[in-house]
Chains A and B, each alone.
Chain A
């Protein structure tokens, strides 16, 4: 363990193939135990960065430090590869039984058969597939195959797990249940994980930190709220979408909706979820209404928040108002409203949106 607390530290990673630059001097640090998502459109270099970090691709420049030791120099390729695991979009199972697939990592390391049997049954239990032990990998469904692939990865007790679009080929129900199970295992084992995905919902559900990749570079790197709510430039904004995201805990349910505590405020939202669960809310800026004053009954209504305009940004026919109301919130307003209401940075207003205009996903 280095003093910095970084399990992995990459600097100036350069990967060129066939004359074009795929990874353009990328640097990043991964802290012990955190889950980092690399998001970005197809071709942005997510997979290449993952392969570079896992030592599976040739670098044209830069270096990767694992616990302060340079991979390929101070720690050789093989011992490094034995401390990590990689799960790809395709399960890439071997043509044998589920048991033998999960056993392959420990077998490669020469573990005893007793140890192998213990590890394999532990992993099968974790991913809910003990009943598949003797099944041939050829006969598995997509979800079962990817569970086997994850179990095989965890059977090597990796210190870092690299996941390359692991859920992209799954149907939504299998995907959601697998994400839930994987999160459980990551939490329980405190495994550091790096997830490449083009799906921002997956990234929001799983990660402590999100790095947005565009054209071979990390364009922004921060907490999910920072990246989603304050994209650093228009390209990132175009990829992550315009919605404000708010994370909070469900306090209680009330006839078909739930009440969420976010920052110092309570938000009512329609959707699935039980008290105590963490959820992420998406609020589209066009669904947020601003008023200067609120009548008495309006101000006691749900989802009406006293707010202060932090920034007012011209965006074509609209202005985007970045608000602070106990949580960050964005609203679109017309130029005419800005004039009529005399809005400027620092103005105190009331922001409101409907419970049904909110999209929500459960976090854990």
Chain B
């Protein structure tokens, strides 16, 4: 019991004392996962919207591929990105393995199907006739897409949250392609794994608490979105 109690007390000392190492790791995590999510939003929302609104042969197959991608295991992504970025690999010339950029790339691959899938569902759940209504109001195709995205803004926010939540808590790919290098590519999850392995529970608990707070905030927003009603 002492182990847990002392660990928690020390963890809160680290947190409230704004321990430079803990803060540094948190800032890096937010920067990496934030960047990966941001890029995945650009690709994911446009792809999701296009698939939701367009009619083309093989559309159902594309949708099932996207849905499969939503459950992509991070270690598999880590493996693929590692192979690609390996010095003798096809993208080895970039020389970015074991850098924050490599983590961003891996997290982008994890987040994009999640954002795409949820955006697709967000646009599809709008009333079918809303698209016709917008066109009948005299909108161009571009205006129509913009208005529909604005109408789907809350479920799209869910896509942002789910994408970010997926990558901030992911550990496998980050450790494989980032290398967990102190002060350089060490993020919340990889640090937690390492400190726990070393028996440094106070730091591990502090990092865990930060992850929990982030998870709580993300779910708070998601719950608010779910409780929101659309106008008729």
B198 within 8 Å of A (CB atoms): no
A54 within 8 Å of B (CB atoms): yes
Query: Is A94 in contact with B231, judged by CB distance below 8 angstroms?
Result: yes
Interface 1/0s, chain B 128-159, versus A by CB < 8 A?
Answer: 01101101111110010001001101000000
B144 to chain A, nearest CB (A): 9
B182 within 8 Å of A (CB atoms): no
The stretch of A124-132, A138-146, A174-182, A325-333 in contact with B is: A138-146
Q: Which of A56, A84, A108 contacts B143 (CB 8 A)?
A: A108
- Interface size for chain B: under 10, 10 to 19, 20 to 34, or 35 or more residues? 20 to 34
Chain A residues with CB under 8 Å of B135's CB are 56, 81
Alpha-carbon separation in the docked complex, A56 to B138 (Å): 11
B224 within 8 Å of A (CB atoms): no
Chain B residues with CB under 8 Å of A56's CB are 132, 135-136
A92 within 8 Å of B (CB atoms): yes
19 intermolecular pairs with C-beta atoms under 8 Å apart:
A51-B132, A56-B135, A56-B136, A85-B136, A86-B132, A86-B133, A88-B129, A88-B133, A91-B231, A92-B130, A92-B232, A94-B150, A95-B231, A104-B137, A105-B137, A138-B230, A138-B231, A140-B231, A152-B137
Alpha-carbon separation in the docked complex, A105 to B153 (Å): 20
B215 to chain A, nearest CB (A): 28
Alpha-carbon separation in the docked complex, A92 to B140 (Å): 18
A88 closest partner in B (C-beta): B129
Q: Contacts A90-B232, A94-B151, A136-B231 given; indicate if A81 touches B138 (C-beta within 8 A).
A: yes
Q: Contacts A56-B136, A78-B140, A81-B138 given; indicate if A93 touches B129 (C-beta within 8 A).
A: no
Query: Is B127 in contact with A156, judged by CB distance below 8 angstroms?
Result: no
B8 to chain A, nearest CB (A): 44
Alpha-carbon separation in the docked complex, A67 to B143 (Å): 27
B2 within 8 Å of A (CB atoms): no
Chain B interface mostly = helix
A82 within 8 Å of B (CB atoms): yes
Alpha-carbon separation in the docked complex, A260 to B133 (Å): 42
Query: Is A156 in contact with B137, judged by CB distance below 8 angstroms?
Result: yes
Q: Nearest 9 A-B pairs (CB), nearest first?
A: A86-B136, A137-B231, A82-B138, A138-B231, A92-B133, A105-B137, A93-B231, A56-B132, A108-B139
Query: Is A95 in contact with B151, judged by CB distance below 8 angstroms?
Result: yes
Q: Contacts A90-B129, A92-B127 given; indicate if A78 touches B151 (C-beta within 8 A).
A: no
A17 within 8 Å of B (CB atoms): no
B137 closest partner in A (C-beta): A105
Alpha-carbon separation in the docked complex, A86 to B135 (Å): 9
Alpha-carbon separation in the docked complex, A137 to B130 (Å): 15
A73 within 8 Å of B (CB atoms): no
Q: Which of B212-230 contact A (CB under 8 A)?
A: 229-230
Query: Is B232 in contact with A93, judged by CB distance below 8 angstroms?
Result: yes
Query: Is B132 in contact with A145, judged by CB distance below 8 angstroms?
Result: no
A152 closest partner in B (C-beta): B137
Query: Is A105 in contact with B232, judged by CB distance below 8 angstroms?
Result: no
Alpha-carbon separation in the docked complex, A94 to B126 (Å): 11
Interface 1/0s, chain A 251-275, versus B by CB < 8 A?
Answer: 0000000000000000000000000
Query: Is B231 in contact with A54, judged by CB distance below 8 angstroms?
Result: no
A296 within 8 Å of B (CB atoms): no
Chain A residues with CB under 8 Å of B150's CB are 94
Chain B residues with CB under 8 Å of A86's CB are 132-133, 136
Q: Which of B116-134 contact A (CB under 8 A)?
A: 127, 129-130, 132-133
Interface 1/0s, chain A 139-179, versus B by CB < 8 A?
Answer: 01010010000001000100000100000000000000000
Interface 1/0s, chain A 66-88, versus B by CB < 8 A?
Answer: 00000000000010011011101
Chain B residues with CB under 8 Å of A78's CB are 138, 140
Chain B residues with CB under 8 Å of A95's CB are 151, 153, 230-231
Chain A residues with CB under 8 Å of B129's CB are 88, 90, 92
Q: A88-B129, A90-B129, A108-B138 are in contact. List 13 more A-B contacts (CB 8 A).
A: A51-B132, A78-B138, A82-B138, A85-B136, A88-B133, A91-B231, A91-B232, A92-B127, A92-B232, A93-B231, A94-B147, A94-B231, A138-B229
Q: Contacts A86-B132, A90-B127, A94-B151 given; indicate if A145 touches B232 (C-beta within 8 A).
A: yes
The residue among A92, A94, A137, A138 with the most chain B CB atoms within 10 A of its own CB is: A92
Chain B residues with CB under 8 Å of A85's CB are 136-137
Alpha-carbon separation in the docked complex, A152 to B129 (Å): 16
Q: Which of B132, B138, B140, B229 contacts A105 (CB 8 A)?
A: B138
Chain A residues with CB under 8 Å of B140's CB are 78
Alpha-carbon separation in the docked complex, A156 to B139 (Å): 12
Chain A residues with CB under 8 Å of B230's CB are 95, 138
Query: Is B138 in contact with A156, judged by CB distance below 8 angstroms?
Result: yes
Interface 1/0s, chain A 89-108, versus B by CB < 8 A?
Answer: 01111110000000011001
Alpha-carbon separation in the docked complex, A88 to B109 (Å): 41
Alpha-carbon separation in the docked complex, A162 to B136 (Å): 10
B123 to chain A, nearest CB (A): 14
Q: Contacts A88-B133, A92-B133, A94-B151 given; indicate if A109 touches B231 (C-beta within 8 A).
A: no
Alpha-carbon separation in the docked complex, A136 to B133 (Å): 19
A94 closest partner in B (C-beta): B151
Q: Contacts A88-B129, A108-B143 given; indicate if A81 touches B136 (C-beta within 8 A).
A: yes
Alpha-carbon separation in the docked complex, A152 to B130 (Å): 14
Chain B residues with CB under 8 Å of A84's CB are 136
